[in-house]
Structure 1
Amino acid sequence: MIPLIVLLGLCLPIITLCYFTRCLISPWGTCIRCRPGGKNRTCRACDGTGMRPRLGWQLYTYARRLHRNGTR
């Protein structure tokens, strides 16, 4: 049981760092609702573009905006 916890403790920060790096390099991902058929002009999630911001990028933007508005 202990090696599993150690392995999880080592892998989780690495996975988090990789996802954070991916969000910084490519903040836009394919739309989940439009993915099977490509661009859907009536999609409300992406406004018909087929691309929407990743969840990590949305959280980063929210935190940055919250900090900026709190320090004014």
Structure 2
Amino acid sequence: MATAIALLVLWLPIVTLCYVGWCLVSPWGTCRRCAPGGKNRTCRACEGTGMRPRLGWQLYVYFRRLHRDGTR
């Protein structure tokens, strides 16, 4: 059990930093709702573009706006 916790403590920050880097390099991902058929004009998730922001990017934008609005 101790080795599992130690591995989790070591790998969790690495995986988190890799995901943050991935979101900074490529903030847009393919839409999961219309990805099998390509762009779908009636898709409400991506508004027909076939691309939607990743969850990490959405969180970054949310906290950036929260900080900006709180410091004005």
Query: Could you say which TM-score interval applies, normalised by the shorter chain?
Result: over 0.9
Listed as ranges, the matches of 1:1-72 within 5 Å are 1-72=1-72
Q: Structure 1 residues 51-60 or 33-42, which shifts more?
A: 33-42
Structure 1 residue matching 2:36: 3-state secondary structure: coil
Deviation at 1:53, TM superposition (A): 0.3
**Unpaired segments of 5 or more residues in structure 1?**
none
TM-score for the superposition, normalised by structure 1:
0.98
Residue deviations 1:1-21 (CA, integer Å, cap 9, x gap): 101100010000000000000
Q: Which sections of structure 2, spanning at least 5 residues, go unmatched?
A: none
Q: Identical aligned pairs, as a percentage? A: 76
- TM-score between both structures, scaled by the size of structure 2: 0.98
CA RMSD of aligned residues (A): 0.4
